[in-house]
Amino acid sequence: MGGVFQSIYTQIYYFLDVRNGLRVSYFDNTVCLADFANYVYPIVRKRYPVLSDCHIFLFQKTAEIILKSTYIMDIAKRSKSNPLLSPSDLKPGIDGMEITCLLNPGVFRLHDKTWLLLRVAERPKQIEGKISFPVYNESGKIEVLSFDKDDPQLDASDPRVIKYKGQNYLTTLSYLRLVCSDDDINFYEDPAFPPIFGQGYLESFGIEDCRVATMEDGFYLTFTEVSPVAVGVGLITTKDFQHFDRKGMIFPPHNKDCAIFEEKINGMYYALHRPSSPELGGNYIWPAQSPDRIHWGNHKCVATTREGRWDSARVGAGGAPIKTAEGWLEIYHGANKEHRYCLGALLLDLDDPSKVIARSEEPIMEPIAGYEQTGFFGNVVFTNGHYVDGDIIRIFYGASDEVICSAEFSINEILHSLRK
Ligand code: MAN
């Protein structure tokens, strides 16, 4: 019997070899701990019919302990309808362009519907041997720039960004576009709600990854403004998503991933943001305070990257922090040096969000589904929007920087994972 268990354990490790992709083929792309039971135990039973229920129970417990203590902490329950939206589901919003990617939506509830403020990335149909992409020119009109792919001065190793003669450009131009749904699965556009395009020089390479804070005096939209001189955080407010008040850049470069807390704490507004300090420091999460949500101060650092871990290269806030009995819960993204983007959780003090109560050791969600591993930029799960319904957080997320998906977390389950 010992030999049988020996090989079962070998088998567990074999199944758990997530990092070389085996898990995907064995687990039908959407594994979580519960699925593990459904997939693995029947196989073990079939292969070792001699095992009694008691052995299987022991096997199950051992497997769970190994799973919890080693690799799999992915506790996201992905929608069976994923991906919910792909580039071909919408018509391009800019004349002469194609939609290349749908990414990272802001999320809010309005008129009993779920709304996604999608980031839509467009570019012209690509011609053999060239890289062409749109930018806004000085008079605010779309202009297409084009480079020869074999130009020795061109660095096009990253599908998202190119470098030419020392200047960085984005390979697509992003803007924000609304879709809504009655069932969180089928999303459609309402022509009464206009898209939001970049405006002015600081948005001439587009606007990206909008967080929507639903506050008592309206919606606060924070997004990345990209231009030849900077990446910073812009703010737009609206009460109805039909009329918009543009407040300009509220966190200067280099900064992004800004999530405003949806209520005041001790009379002050708070936000998480992600300044970058590449020479001394890095890409870390910082809370800041504000009397009015436009002027921000009292900056502190709450989460740095962790060498050798899943979040070793960059971390950034997701959607608005969620108030729980145990603290403000923030689902954040972390990427390693290979640009593999996962999600983790941070728990911050209810009275003072610059105090960290707990942080995920392992990701609570990893790119393990096929649509999360392959696409415009593979191995990415990235969220900046959700809504909360009791214990459930329904996140909407960009997978592989190409398609829009959704998944659910249990708040209790996340808090439990943080207590270990
Ligand atoms: C950056 C941002 C995101 C994007 C990820 C992965 O963090 O540009 O919009 O999803 O990279 O490419």
For the chain, the structural domain boundaries read 27-70, 77-418
**pTM, 2 dp:** 0.85
Q: At what angle do helices 33-47 and 2-15 cross, to 10 degrees?
A: 140
DSSP string, 100-135: EEEEEEEEEEETTEEEEEEEEEEEPPPPTTEEEEEE
pLDDT at 53: 73
| Residue 113 scores a pLDDT above 70 | yes
Residue 216 has pLDDT above 60, yes or no: yes
Return the closest-CA partner of residue 241 out of 262, 219, 272.
219
Does a cis peptide bond (omega within 30 degrees of 0) precede residue 273?
no
Q: What per-residue confidence (pLDDT) applies to 57?
A: 73
Would you say residue 394 has pLDDT above 50? yes
Strand partners, 262: none
**333 with 284: CB under 8 angstroms?**
no
Is the distance from the beta carbon of residue 225 to the nearest atom of ligand 1 less than 6 Å?
A: no
Q: How confident is the model at residue 101 (pLDDT cuts 50, 70, 90)?
A: very high
The alpha carbons of the chain give a radius of gyration, in whole angstroms, of 22
Q: What percent of the chain has pLDDT over 70?
A: 85
Is 382 a pocket residue for ligand 1 (Cβ < 6 Å)? yes
Pick the more confident residue, 47 or 77.
Answer: 77
Q: Please name the residue whose Cα sits nearest to atom 4 of ligand 1.
A: 401
In this prediction, residues 14-36 reach a mean pLDDT of 41
Is 70 exceeded by the pLDDT of residue 308?
yes
Distance 415 CA to ligand 1 centre (A): 26
Is 218 within 8 Å of 242 (Cβ atoms)?
A: no
pLDDT at res. 30: 36
Q: Nearest CA to 234 among 216, 257, 264, 214?
A: 257
Region 77-418: CATH code: 2.115.10.20
pLDDT in the model for residue 68: 53
Atom nearest to 382 CA in ligand 1:
10
For ligand 1, the distance from its centroid to the CA atom of residue 53, given in whole angstroms, is 47
CB of residue 257 inside a 6 A radius of ligand 1: no
Here the tokens at position 391 are: 């214990």
Q: Is the pLDDT of residue 11 over 70?
A: no
Taking residues 287-316, report their average pLDDT. 98
45 or 147, higher pLDDT:
147
